[in-house]
Amino acid sequence: SMVHDNQRFVVALRFVEKGESMATIVAWLLNRLKSIGISIKRAYLDKGFCSLPVLKTLKRRKIKFILPIPVRGKLGGVRKLFEASGSHQTTYRLTSPKPGALEISAVAVKKYSKGRYKRKGARWFAYAVAGLSKSVEPHQVFEMYRQRFGIETSYRQMNQVRARTTSRNPVIRLLLVGLAFILFNLYIANRQQFAICLKNPAKPFSKFWLTLRRLARMLAHAVENLYDLADVVSRHALVALS
């Protein structure tokens, strides 16, 4: 997924085979973006991608990124970054039995929950980063990464226009997901244009008049009218009543 002009789009979809490495998936995605002429300003990856092979792939391709470093265990590891009194930028040596070790730029962010989410006290977050301007403060890194959470929202919205099937064929199931994302992308790309075209200057107008759920209902009605499905349902209902 990508964010462009504060709008989120899904631009690539593929099967992940059993045993396929994260580095292979990342390399494929980067190649795919390059092939369709999309340049990356900065990559925001899920913490599941935090591994030496992935970091080396990003570094080799000179990709700017922000990637959470998973906190495991109660002692040592990335927790060493949390020994400071406050948020800071530093370096961290990531090690792994097979790929070896890699020194990376890291940002540790200390956030105070202030009673939110039924938590009290401070909570630490660690990020592997690359290509950050010197003027970027640690707390800004936390806010920058929050942009990624909107991508998860797009997956939930996609389900509003995804067709359902009882088939267990993964090709068919992925096809339906892909078609749903195409509809979602078209909705996002044209939402503002719809608002401009439908706006009545004499009345206040919300740009959210055309919601994705409403668009899904409109498409469903269009399909029913195209194939006379409404008449079929009506005839079957009359037969059942008789």
Which of 156, 172, 204 is the endpoint of a domain? 156
84, 196: one domain:
no
Are 12 and 68 within one domain?
yes
Predicted local distance difference test score (pLDDT) of residue 239: 46
Do 96 and 15 reside in the same domain of the chain?
A: yes
Instruction: Return the H-helix or E-strand segment holding 100.
Output: strand 100-112
Angle at the Cα of 145 from the Cα atoms of 36 and 19, rounded to 5 degrees: 60
Q: Are residues 137 and 193 in the same domain?
A: no
Q: How many CB atoms lie within 10 A of CB 236?
A: 10
The mean of the pLDDT values for the chain is: 82
Question: Which of 100, 126, 156 marks a domain boundary?
Answer: 156
Confidence of residue 53 (pLDDT cuts 50, 70, 90): very high
The number of distinct structural domains making up the chain is 2
Region 35-42: what's the mean pLDDT?
89
Do 29 and 106 lie in a common domain?
yes
Q: pLDDT for 104-130, tens place per residue?
A: 999 999 988 766 655 667 889 999 999
Asked whether residue 8 falls in the same domain as residue 59, the answer is: yes
CA distances from 37 to 7, 68, 129 (A): 18, 27, 24
Least confident interval from 39-48, 78-87, 172-181, 197-206: 197-206
Residue 96 CA: distances (Å) to CA of 52, 55, 61, 77, 103: 7, 12, 21, 12, 12
Residue 80 burial by CB count (10 A; 0-12/13-18/19+): exposed, middle or buried? middle
What phi and psi values does residue 71 have, to the nearest 5 degrees?
-100, 115
- Give the Cα separation of 180 and 70 in Å (integer): 32
Distance of alpha carbon 202 from alpha carbon 96, whole angstroms: 65
pLDDT of the residue at 116: 62
Cα 22 vs. chain centroid, distance in angstroms? Answer: 16
Does the pLDDT value for residue 158 go beyond 70? yes
Q: Token digits for 38?
A: 């999309």
* Residues 192-242 pLDDT 10s: 666 566 555 555 445 556 788 888 888 888 888 888 776 555 555 444 443
| Same domain for 21 and 79 | yes
Residue 30 belongs to domain spanning:
2-156
Identify which has the larger pLDDT, 192 or 79. Answer: 79
Let me know: does 94 contact 101? Beta carbons within 8 Å: yes
